Structure 1
Amino acid sequence: MIYKKSRKYIPENLDIKWENLEHLFKELTARPINSVEELEHWLQDRSELEAAIEEDFAWRYIRMTCDTANEELLQKFQYFATEIEPKIAPYSNELNKKLVGSDYADQLDKEKYFIYLRGVKKALELFREENIPIFTEIQVEQQKYQSITGSMSVHIDDKEFTLEQAAVSMKDTDRGKRQEAWEKITARRLQDKDQLNSLFNHLRALRHKVALNAGFENFRDYMFQALGRFDYTPQDCYAFHEAIQKEIVPILHEQAEKRKTALGLDKLEPWDLDVDISGKAALKPFKDGNDLVEKSIQCFSNINRYLGERLEIMKDNQLFDVESRKGKAPGGYNYPLAETGAPFIFMNSANTFRDLTTMVHEGGHAVHTFLTADLELNDFKHCPSEVAELASMSMELISMDNWNVYFDNEEELKRAKRDQLFDVLKTLPWVAVVDQYQHWIYTNPDHTDEERTEAWLQIFENFGANFADWSTHQEAEANLWQKQLHIFEVPFYYIEYGMAQLGAIAVWKNYKENPEKGLRQYLDALKLGYTKTIKDIYETAGIRFDFSAGYVKELAGFVKAEMDKL
């Protein structure tokens, strides 16, 4: 078993309710600090309190997403969002002021605390008292997306399936079955399109208000500051979009033409995009959720014993919920438990190849959680997404050399690797589309639903529209964006997947050339948490933080060459 770290400042049995927390925040606010040693001790006490609160919130979120129909779990989550979080915010701001204003702040180790202090100063710049109730409302409203989508199901052959389970039929070699599944899934999504549009309009308005209150013209510019994007600008994002359109889209167009020819079709319909072009049945890398966990432990152990042991610890402590079921929120995540030093992996397995890649992706995040568990301050573990997603996406590729654990047939193993490398390239245009769409949404805050649809279609078409013929599915195409949880729940958290995907290709390239050195550099980079700049962390991993057209072309060429070998 694993246990939470022993506490030095707050009571071991502290019940996370506001009445039990306020005196602790008051003590930290009022405590006199008379030396740099006392300031560091104060920082550690604050960190301990924040970690306890963070883990309590984590469990409320995890339990709610595991069972979205449970009203009690929803209320516990909402209690935190409405009664705890808003009351912490002004105290956090006061504590930030106390830190920055301390006579001893300048005596803190510059190298050790640079990133942390930079973030604290930015938080002070952005804080507005009037935004606290708006953030609370946003938190509660965002959760409605999961309630709406988590309740979606369809009937196929008189059986009820979640949308994730039904999507398995999209790999069926029987085209009629694929079409039936796609049409039912799409019809079910469109049933709630107006409700989701209305929810999004409300979220958009709230977010724009937050930005105006903080002195920004729009929410995009606010979020670039709030996400701590110190290392790149919106203009860099547009350059990334352009590079993907120029270098990746043509490769995918070529692959789509091969698919069309192999399937003997005049055009690709949306239900023709996932079936294997060999004409063989969909890959089945595991039997059920337990088998997936066991095989993943073996896969990670074969890469490095330490990695396998981390997943073994999680299994022993029941830190997995992997199978899809009705009432469970969509998607997948790795949620770090700040005090315990381990994570929880949540996903919606429907026994597909995609579930394998989700598991090794979230497993990469999990390893990152363990590697940063002993960093001195809780904030040192709060990695920006550009780093967090590097951990997960690199593991997808590094683990491929050990996928024989899932496939004992050599031809199936090759198919799996080909599918994975194709997915690596396919991810990039979708990331560019989702990111560019959000830039448009929030820099045009007064747009109508019709204008938003028009913008979506234009951007989606510019990046190939998944290379399918949408002429008789226009309503489905116009509402595809509603599938993307991030747009509703974590706005602007998406470009990071693209940047990290490029980084992951470079990590994998290093690993292929020298496995021992490549893995060591990757793990050394993850151990840093967020104590260095993104650029420094990437350099520690032996790669560049670069998304120029030239670099995109170089990495795409490497992936294409590896695909050709298979």
Structure 2
Amino acid sequence: MEVVERKTRRFLPLDLKIEKWEDIAPFLEQLEERVIENAADLENFIFDLSEVEAVLEEAGAWRYIRMTCDTANKEYVDNYTYFINEIQPKIAPIGDRLNKKIQAAPGKERLPESLLYKNYFRNIAKDIEIYREENIALFTEISNLSKEFGAISGAMTVEWDGKELTMQQAGKLLKKTDRKIREEAYFKIQERRFEDREKLDGLFDKLVSKRQKVAENAGFENFRDYKFKSMGRFDYGVEDCKSFHESVKKHIVPLVGKMLEERREKLGVSSLKPWDLAVDPIGKEPLTPFTDGKELLEKSVNVFAKIDPYFSDCLKIMDKMGHLDLESRKGKAPGGYNYPLYEIGVPFIFMNAAGTHSDVITMMHEGGHAVHSFLTKDFKVTGFKSFPSEVAELASMSTELISMVAGWEDFYPNSDDLQRAIADQLERVLDVLPWVATIDKFQHWIYENPQHSEKDRNKAWIEIFKEFHPDVVDYSGCEKYLEKMWQKQMHLFEVPFYYIEYGFAQLGAIAVWMNYEKNPSETLEKFKKALSLGYTKTIPEIYKTAGIRFDFSPNYIKELASFVESKMQ
């Protein structure tokens, strides 16, 4: 397995490194001065601009990656801060001028395979429409504020038996069969989060205020409407999201309630408490699929090989190139991500593995994103590799389910453990949908009511949470933690409105799974073909290529939920 070599650059010097704005500015100025007379000139211009975008993106990406891997490293934090304060703001004005140059250029309709550029050109038109110079400084302030969430969360630890545990490591205690241990661990974790509630509330207030100002500057009534436009949500709108909320409430929440009631009965408790939600309901010890990051990777490679050798090769290449950081440790930002690197084409996977089944799912998920990055790495146009989240999450969430069907025996050689892992995954498939609806509806409320108080926000959160969570779990005695539960959701702080995609993609992933069970080879072929399109087609067209529908109507959700329920039974 060979590592991927950086391609020869066509416009920028191969040895160019971006340390400061002056390193890249002359090349952007050259593009701005270039004359475009025909379709060939235009396409060459787009190729050269894409190369600049890819190099810039990667320069910022590595700064972000290093900072999240070690939030306590001042040099890493300073380097990232410098990029978002001193380089990013200077990109925006010239980027707007270059967009206008492309929009006004002759020959767009005569580009080779011009249909591939449909999304590219409508994204440019959208960016021109919402660009406001006065928002540049605000975006810098928002970026600086957003990174505070990772620093606050990354510093959270709890003490257990004389050891300092990260929140991810402490979370494993909630799987212990001893209920007293689980209860004690739950309160330790929640108290630690609660200590920082005022910091996080204050941070969020600042973010909401600045985001609202961005929207108003661009001529929008609220940040929600601005964000839908800026994210390029051309294929659905606000009302579709609200329809999704109602469909989940009608067809998914009752099934989740049934699952929770069955859990309560199996545990033999009179009331289900929040510390009863992760433990095995029949009293078995937590699954231990791997011991460290090295074993997690080895077993993931084996599972991916069962799907397709190409999938496993992607992980092997990333490992050889040092593009993996898998284990949880103090000072590391929370969560997990696959960061695409547009120039080299080999992404970076970051996660906080602590030896749990959840870590296996995260690895399958981020591995699916990685395969998607590999399948699109040879596009010359950066916009073709920058696909919408509804497509990106289809790649990751479908890979979770395909890997389950292909076989997790490497993680769970014991058949009982394997069945437990599959049962856990099936619960997750349904359980994620109410949580997605909760977070999404909460965001709609936040930005429809930007002047809200902390008290208003707490009240709204509780009301929305109760809409999508059956009254089976007893939170009495934990009300103050429930009020602040939203604060653990990174997306609210760092990537607002990036969450409904998980819901849409989960529906698509269930449909891919249904097809895979009937015909694995044909389904995988269609799946890879769909991902290989990048963003050269619309979201519905990409889903159709995968052999599924981009559909979140009540009847479709009911059909998919029934399939999952039948598998659980």
TM-score range, shorter chain: over 0.9
Please name the residue that 1:83 is paired with: 86
Please name the residue that 1:530 is paired with: 535
Matched, 1:476 2:481: yes
Q: Measure how far apart 1:106 and its partner are.
A: 3.4
Task: Determine which of 440, 443, 448 is the counterpart of 1:438.
Answer: 443
Matched, 1:14 2:19: no
Task: Determine which of 214, 217, 220 is the counterpart of 1:213.
Answer: 217
Q: State the distance in 1 between where 2:95 and 2:6 align.
A: 24
Please name the residue that 1:560 is paired with: 565
Q: State the distance in 1 between where 2:139 and 2:376 align.
A: 28
Q: State the distance in 1 between where 2:55 and 2:130 align.
A: 25
Q: Measure how far apart 1:177 and its partner are.
A: 0.8
Matched, 1:31 2:34: yes
Task: Determine which of 493, 498, 504 is the counterpart of 1:493.
Answer: 498
Task: Determine which of 335, 347, 351 is the counterpart of 1:347.
Answer: 351
Question: Counterpart of 1:66 in structure 2: which amino acid?
Answer: C
Q: State the distance in 2 between where 1:110 and 1:320 align.
A: 37
Contact in 1 for aligned 2:256/2:470 (Cα 8 Å): no
Q: Measure how far apart 1:563 and its partner are.
A: 1.2
Q: Measure how far apart 1:466 and its partner are.
A: 8.0
Please name the residue that 2:314 is paired with: 310
Find the residue that maps to 2:347 and give its secondary structure.
strand
Question: Counterpart of 2:17 in structure 1: which amino acid?
Answer: D
Question: Counterpart of 2:487 in structure 1: which amino acid?
Answer: Q
Q: State the distance in 2 between where 1:86 and 1:270 align.
A: 44
The superposition leaves residues 74-104 of structure 1 with CA deviations (integer Å, 9 ceiling, x where unpaired) of 0100111011000000011000000001122
Question: Counterpart of 1:439 in structure 2: which amino acid?
Answer: H
Find the residue that maps to 1:337 and give its secondary structure.
coil
Task: Determine which of 325, 328, 335 is the counterpart of 2:332.
Answer: 328
Find the residue that maps to 2:17 and give its secondary structure.
coil
TM-score by length of 1: 0.99
Task: Determine which of 166, 169, 177 is the counterpart of 1:165.
Answer: 169
- Between the two proteins, what is the percent identity of the paired residues? 52
Find the residue that maps to 1:439 and give its secondary structure.
helix
Q: State the distance in 1 between where 2:5 and 2:196 align.
A: 43
The superposition leaves residues 99-131 of structure 1 with CA deviations (integer Å, 9 ceiling, x where unpaired) of 001122333343121110010000000000000
Task: Determine which of 151, 154, 161 is the counterpart of 1:150.
Answer: 154
Please name the residue that 1:65 is paired with: 68
- Unpaired stretches in structure 2, ≥5 consecutive residues: none
Q: Measure how far apart 1:375 and its partner are.
A: 1.3
Question: Counterpart of 2:536 in structure 1: which amino acid?
Answer: T
Q: State the distance in 2 between where 1:481 and 1:275 align.
A: 22
Task: Determine which of 376, 400, 419 is the counterpart of 1:396.
Answer: 400
Matched, 1:188 2:192: yes
Question: Counterpart of 1:333 in structure 2: which amino acid?
Answer: Y
Alignment of 1:231-310 (within 5 A): 231-310=235-314
Question: Counterpart of 2:535 in structure 1: which amino acid?
Answer: Y
Find the residue that maps to 2:340 and give its secondary structure.
strand
Find the residue that maps to 1:334 and give its secondary structure.
strand
Question: Counterpart of 2:530 in structure 1: which amino acid?
Answer: A
The superposition leaves residues 485-540 of structure 1 with CA deviations (integer Å, 9 ceiling, x where unpaired) of 00000000000000000000000111110000011111110000000000000000
Question: Counterpart of 2:518 in structure 1: which amino acid?
Answer: E
Find the residue that maps to 2:407 and give its secondary structure.
helix
Q: 1:560 to 1:465 in 2, by over 3 A?
A: closer
Task: Determine which of 542, 552, 558 is the counterpart of 2:547.
Answer: 542
- Unpaired stretches in structure 1, ≥5 consecutive residues: none
Question: Counterpart of 2:145 in structure 1: which amino acid?
Answer: E
Matched, 1:116 2:120: yes
Find the residue that maps to 1:160 and give its secondary structure.
strand
Question: Counterpart of 1:12 in structure 2: which amino acid?
Answer: L
Alignment of 1:360-399 (within 5 A): 360-399=364-403
Find the residue that maps to 1:383 and give its secondary structure.
coil
Tell me how large the CA RMSD over aligned residues is: 0.8
Q: State the distance in 2 between where 1:336 and 1:29 align.
A: 27
Question: Counterpart of 1:76 in structure 2: which amino acid?
Answer: N
Contact in 1 for aligned 2:126/2:229 (Cα 8 Å): yes
Q: Measure how far apart 1:312 and its partner are.
A: 0.8
Please name the residue that 1:356 is paired with: 360
Q: Measure how far apart 1:15 and its partner are.
A: 2.0
The superposition leaves residues 532-561 of structure 1 with CA deviations (integer Å, 9 ceiling, x where unpaired) of 000000000000000011000000000111
Q: State the distance in 2 between where 1:322 and 1:110 align.
A: 41
Find the residue that maps to 1:421 and give its secondary structure.
helix
Find the residue that maps to 1:342 and give its secondary structure.
coil
Give every structure 1 segment of 4 or more consecutive aligned residues whose post-TM-superposition deviation is greater than 4 Å.
Answer: none
Q: Measure how far apart 1:317 and its partner are.
A: 1.1
Question: Counterpart of 2:54 in structure 1: which amino acid?
Answer: A
Please name the residue that 2:6 is paired with: 4
Aligned length: 564
Please name the residue that 2:522 is paired with: 517
The superposition leaves residues 414-473 of structure 1 with CA deviations (integer Å, 9 ceiling, x where unpaired) of 110010010010000000000000000000010000001000000001111684211211
TM-score by length of 2: 0.98
Q: State the distance in 2 between where 1:39 and 1:134 align.
A: 32
The superposition leaves residues 252-309 of structure 1 with CA deviations (integer Å, 9 ceiling, x where unpaired) of 1111111111111111111000100121001111121100000000100111111111
Q: State the distance in 2 between where 1:140 and 1:14 align.
A: 26
Q: State the distance in 1 between where 2:521 and 2:69 align.
A: 38
